Structure 1
């Protein structure tokens, strides 16, 4: 039976009388890779940050694994949810292994268990522990740093991983490789739920089992990439898809 990992029930977030997120309801199931797509100011980052209580909802209910997150300790909740951002935020004075061990140490894991977990994660992200675990962030490429960021977020084995435009500052070639690797990681961790923000329609449709399209704080459409492309729900979604198709046509004409 499919388990609901995240549920929003008529959730709004209001800043200075403006609804940044406006009465949204949605359900994300265990094992899904959900991409959230929208223009700047559409409410996608606020929606993501409400999932781990970095932003508190103004109204409505949010459930994590069946529990109302308002009833949970915010710090304890965040330790159950991995979080990866564009800036990565690796500590420069710590080695790769030390960066990855931060949350397990906070959870009082013993050192043997931490060491074993680091080996597992280095294997998962395809960076050899022998070569990389003792390096410092400054000794890594941008793509390698981002992979370590993903591994660090996975270290305490969270049920949910949140990604806030993690590949936005990465060059196009590396970005494509990271997307492929993220899909491979998600395939291996079938019970993990990933929620991934992007403003890139190609990235959203490549990665997402379902795509949540947001516009002015509301859900414009939430469905599989195939169904969105076949039946866009409104003019905003239709225009989004038409723009992507026009770009693809132009690219094809340039390289014909």
Structure 2
């Protein structure tokens, strides 16, 4: 990612700090996206695996610490975790290794890097969980173009996103429980989570170029978060954070 619509620097700062805090038991260093694979990827796989060509690599786009990537690697012959942050990739390789799994830095807004990745790996399947809402609106068309390039003609895209009602959900949750430490860390880095409606997704991946082969609405996997408290040790929130979401499985149309 590059230019004014890009948060590459913010992501590098966020994951560098996350890696620094890792292992400090007195500090809540977890990422807000650090959802156990049994609560996330395991449910996702049932929705998309049958549509994907098993001979193609599966790319976990925006892999972060690699907790989902490691699980996906147990179900696909080739899995590649990619992230725009070098610190995230280093943390993932250290924390979540798996035989046959590799991690790579990839900036999807760098056209030459995307072309080189596609030339190296060919068409790929893509797994993308709660990433679109972090892409700034003015950058979404460029983002979708890169996704299309990576998929090629045979790849399949699975995405899971926050639902339209997620904003109200977050506001009500924080009113009841306080600001989660993990969310506060994100905001302090200048990263602004948002929502992407189904209409936005369909505008990015238009019916002229993509076919929806499966979709539906579902509550997100519960995320264990910690609320702000005056004590040195954060306190577990009294309820799980599970904002509403939806999923889609899309494949390119034949030219």
Higher strand share: 1
Q: Is the radius of gyration larger for structure 1 or structure 2?
A: 1
- TM-score under structure 2 normalisation? 0.30
- TM-score under structure 1 normalisation? 0.30
